[in-house]
Amino acid sequence: MRPPTLNIFPSQPMHVDPSSTKASPATSGSKRPSEPSMELANARNDAPSGPEPAKSIKREGNRKGPTSSSEQEGPKTPDPKTLRRLAQNREAARKSRLRKKAYVQQLETSRIKLTQLEQELQRARSQGIFFGGNLLGDQGLQVPVSNISTDAAVFDIEYARWLEEHHRITCELRAAVQEHLPENELRLFVDNCLAHFDEAMNLKSMVTKSDVFHIVSGMWKTPAERCFMWIGGFRPSEVIKIVLNQIEPLTEQQIVGICTLQQSTQEAEEALSQGLEALNHSLIDTITSDSLICPPNMANYMGQMAIAMNKLSTVEGFVRQADNLRHQTIHRLHQILTTRQAARCFLAISEYFHRLRALSSLWLARPRQE
């Protein structure tokens, strides 16, 4: 214990309790300066709490960042490039839908046509071979009315399409000749016309294997064309005459080549005509070798039919030789003539057959008198 001394310069005010000073020595020196701050804090706590929700909303908005600002600004207008791209996409989608719709309609139309064709072929096959119910005599033989086969019906349809394509190719060739195109450009149209003629020969060769009599009968051609038919087609010598009358001028070498071709063609035609005529006579002799009045002996009858069948099989060979002669004549003319002359040659031949078909149409539409 220190002896009590006189506290002349006290470190603390006299009115402060020493016990409180000892309890909080750290805050004793700052009590007065803190009084205004304490009063300010109390004033803040006593203030009304209205602005607090606004502050909280504002803080939440600040947490969201650019989203709230973009929402307040509204949707941005796309630039012209984006608008143009979107318009192009919509137009492309619309065209795609239209193409799909047209393709589906085309498939449906093709399916209907194919169904109709199958029904017609089935009807021709069931009704065309024999006319059911009409019997002859006591032998029960049925009357044949139309013997068109399925291959022949398909050939008729394909030949009609070939005629349409041939008309288009001929129009293009005529336009090329009238425009006086150069030789190298005109040659493309001439070669296209020649290749299209070869397609007709290929169609005929396919049906000749299965139904040669359909080709020989000429039922796939118009009536006027059938009057001038020769072994399932046109006479090559007639085509050469058309060329000589329509294609001018010709050089002496070309005239000699065409005349030589005409002579050899006529000789080949004569040989084939004589062979076909001999076949007709031989076939008649084979069929009539037995009595036609008395009931025939079945053994002799079947033998005659077998011989006649073998002779009929040679008709296919005559048709093929005639088609080869026609094919060689057209190609030989193409080799003799120049490109421009060959173009006029094909135009003249196409016009000749076109006029025959027109003549048939006029003949069928003529006024008939009772």
Answer yes or no: do 117 and 205 share one domain.
no
> How much is the average pLDDT of 298-324?
88
pLDDT band of residue 233 (cuts 50, 70, 90) is very high
Question: H or E element: which one contains 29?
Answer: none
Q: CA–CA separation, 143 vs 60, rounded Å?
A: 102
Answer yes or no: do 113 and 167 share one domain.
no
Task: Find residue 142's DSSP bridge partners.
Answer: 135
Answer yes or no: do 117 and 181 share one domain.
no
> How much is the average pLDDT of 196-200?
94
pLDDT band of residue 120 (cuts 50, 70, 90) is low
Residue 367 is predicted with a pLDDT of: 87
Q: Using an 8 Å Cβ cutoff, are 130 and 142 in contact?
A: yes
Q: CA–CA separation, 53 vs 70, rounded Å?
A: 23
Report the sign of the C-alpha dihedral through residues 24, 30, 36, 42, in that order. negative
Q: CA–CA separation, 157 vs 154, rounded Å?
A: 5
Using alpha carbons only, give the angle 215, 216, 217 rounded to the nearest 5 degrees. Answer: 95
Answer yes or no: do 300 and 344 share one domain.
yes
Answer yes or no: do 190 and 100 share one domain.
no
- How confident is the model over 131-182, as pLDDT tens digits? 333 333 333 333 333 457 788 888 998 999 999 999 999 999 999 999 999 9
Q: Which of 87, 350, 116 is nearest to 234 (CA)?
A: 350
The chain-wide mean pLDDT, for the chain, equals: 77
Q: Identify the residue whose tokens are 């299209």.
A: 196
Residue 210 is predicted with a pLDDT of: 86
323-to-40, 79, 250, 272, 284 alpha-carbon distances in Å: 122, 70, 27, 11, 26
Share above pLDDT 70 across residues of the chain, in percent, rounded to a whole number? 69
Is residue 63 domain-resident? no
Answer yes or no: do 118 and 171 share one domain.
no
Nearby residues of 137 by Cβ (< 8 Å), 6 or more positions away: none
Nearby residues of 279 by Cβ (< 8 Å), 6 or more positions away: 311, 314, 315, 318
Distance of CA 246 to the CA centre of its chain: 38
Q: Identify the residue whose tokens are 């022949």.
A: 152
- How confident is the model over 69-99, as pLDDT tens digits? 444 544 567 788 888 888 888 888 888 888 8
pLDDT band of residue 123 (cuts 50, 70, 90) is low
Structural domain ending residue among the three candidates 130, 163, 195? 130
Answer yes or no: do 153 and 123 share one domain.
no
Q: Identify the residue whose tokens are 């060959």.
A: 342
Residue 122 is predicted with a pLDDT of: 67
- Which two tokens mark 342? 């060959």
Buried/exposed code over 142-151 (b: 16+ C-beta within 10 A; e: otherwise): eeeeeebbeb
Answer yes or no: do 165 and 191 share one domain.
yes
Answer yes or no: do 105 and 241 share one domain.
no
Is residue 33 domain-resident? no
Answer yes or no: do 261 and 346 share one domain.
yes
Answer yes or no: do 195 and 100 share one domain.
no
Is residue 75 domain-resident? no
Answer yes or no: do 110 and 176 share one domain.
no
Is residue 258 domain-resident? yes
Number of domains comprising the chain: 2
Domain that holds residue 124: 84-130
Q: Is this prediction's pTM over 0.75?
A: no
Residue 368 is predicted with a pLDDT of: 79
